[in-house]
Structure 1
Amino acid sequence: MPKLKWKIFGGLVWILVASTRVALPILQGWVMFVSVFCFVITTLLLFSYIIGAHGGKTSWITLDAFYHGIAALFYLSAAVLQAYATLQMKVVLTQNDVWFKIYQEDVAAVVFAYLATLSYVIHEVFSLLRWKSS
């Protein structure tokens, strides 16, 4: 189940951003879109793989490489935007304990977004190697 870690990181980004106050809706809206989109598509690909729909076909390998490349780019953009939104709100959110908790959740969302990006990049490298050898 190698794709499970991507789903966990993406799910954590989704939960953490959804649980905080959205200060910059356009930026954090993109973060939410990316995390939900990648979570759903990765789940669909995982279930397709489990039921054997891939069958070792070259088209499956191409789809896998294409999707993980797009997902890595999406998550990189989402991680950068979430980091920017967190930095913009740092002064406001660190004034008292309630706001500091929200700031910590935003920082955790940034960390997990970068971990999801790293996971998708690693999978993309292996997908491209498999695609090249097929």
Structure 2
Amino acid sequence: MSGQDAIGEAPTADVIERIARDAIARLPAAFAAHLGDVVLIVEEHADDETLAALGIEHPLDLSGLYHGRPVGEKSSMDSGALPDRIHLYRRAILDEWIETGVRLDDLVVHVTIHEIGHHFGLSDDDMHTLEEAMDGPAT
């Protein structure tokens, strides 16, 4: 972590993105091969339209979101569609980090893997297994 972290400033979007990209880089090759076109976006919080579409009232209740079609549902007829996107919401992640006491890198990896799991159409159990199969977060 940088010197900023030592003086108590909240981790920036860049820090969260770096942790998430490191997690993606450590995925098994079978998964990584299908993530080349997925865009990773770190935002402060979900916008009102996204929250309304999901029936979520408060932006701190959504830490991540996958936008797109799972790999198994894609077809050659999808040309012209927006790229799949993984959104991580910094303020919600930081709020959960403070509330739970879980290490920030562990939390970001968990949220990232969960959203990647949606890209692959994985169940929650499959996502948990994938997360456990990865090496521990980088220090």
The verdict on a shared fold, with TM-score over 0.5 as the criterion, is: no
Q: What TM-score do you get using the length of structure 2 for normalisation? A: 0.30
Structure number with the higher helix fraction is: 1
Point out which structure has higher relative CO (alpha carbons under 8 A, 6+ apart): 1
